[in-house]
Amino acid sequence: MELRTLRYFVAVAEELHFGRAATRLHMSQPPLSRAIKLLETDLGAALLHRSARGVTLTPAGAVLLDEARTLLGQADRVRVRVVAAAGTATITIGILGDSTDRGATRLAAAYGRRHPGVEVRIRETDLTDPTCGLRAGLVDVALTRGPFDETGLRVHELRVDPVGAVLRADDPLGRRDRLKLADLADRRWFQFPYGTDPIWQSYWNGGEPREGPVVRAVQECLQAVLWNGTVGMAPLGHDLTAELAVVPLADMAPSRVVVAWNEGDANPLVQSVVQIATAAYRD
């Protein structure tokens, strides 16, 4: 058994869906299915029940999932210890806008337990660069939100958050239970500075060109709402002051929380962030 094949199996066993597992592994479904079939042949045991209703683990598959997680964890620790022995046990993580996300907090605790000898440097960035300095080489891995230009990057989805329009609490639309983008067509919105990733800008402007004040940070966006009555945008569940209201947008795609890193980067410290983040955000 190869470690790569075990990683494939763990992805399928955790997702219980070959399509989602293939997306998570950044590969197509046919070679993933073949790899699992070869693994079953090698072990001489069926690991998964496949049916029209989905995928479930067999008793043998449940045992292998437990053992595979242990083996892969040990392999990751070996890599990190070798890196530490070489004197390079440092990683820089970029975080977009707000480092108080509960998933990021769980990730920090879990990463510290797994790699107590690794120095972790955090670079918190504003809203003008959704890659948090990844393209510029300022960070090794980014905890951020999509969508943005993914050229040359690997991106793994951790969570999706519904989003809403941020309005003044005394705004008539702020008292609604739900809005559509058309309800805000005549309103001024915030803008990001010139040169900001156009995919990112378009998403946070509801897919339409807008006019309004230029902001660089979350607090600047909220202050633009308070002072100018502009429309802001935020994932639902964020704590805001009583003077602001967040109204769910029925026709707005959810915001994807992702971990991103450079294509071809085999740094075990980066790969460990991706692995631990997947579990931390799922919890």
HSE, CB side, 13 Å, CA atoms: give it for residue 7.
17
Which structure tokens are listed for 8? 């494939």
Residues 6+ apart with CB under 8 A from 59: none
User: Strand, helix or coil at 188?
Assistant: coil
Q: How many Å apart are CA 200 and CA 203, to the nearest integer?
A: 5
Which structure tokens are listed for 111? 């990463």
Residue ranges of domains in the chain, CATH in brackets: 3-86 (1.10.10.10), 89-157+255-283 (3.40.190.10), 163-253 (3.40.190.10)
List per-residue pLDDT tens for the chain, 283 residues long: 788 899 889 989 988 888 888 877 777 888 899 999 999 999 999 999 988 778 899 999 999 999 998 888 788 777 766 766 665 578 999 998 765 688 888 999 999 888 888 889 999 998 999 999 998 889 999 999 999 999 889 999 999 999 999 999 999 999 999 999 999 998 999 999 988 999 999 999 998 888 899 999 888 999 999 999 999 999 987 778 889 999 999 999 999 999 999 987 878 889 889 989 998 888 6
pLDDT of residue 281: 87
Q: How many Å apart are CA 227 and CA 210, to the nearest integer?
A: 18
Global pTM reads: 0.70
Q: What is the pLDDT of residues 198-224, one digit of tens each?
A: 999 999 999 888 889 999 988 899 999
Name the nearest CA neighbour of 68 among 7, 114, 113. Answer: 7
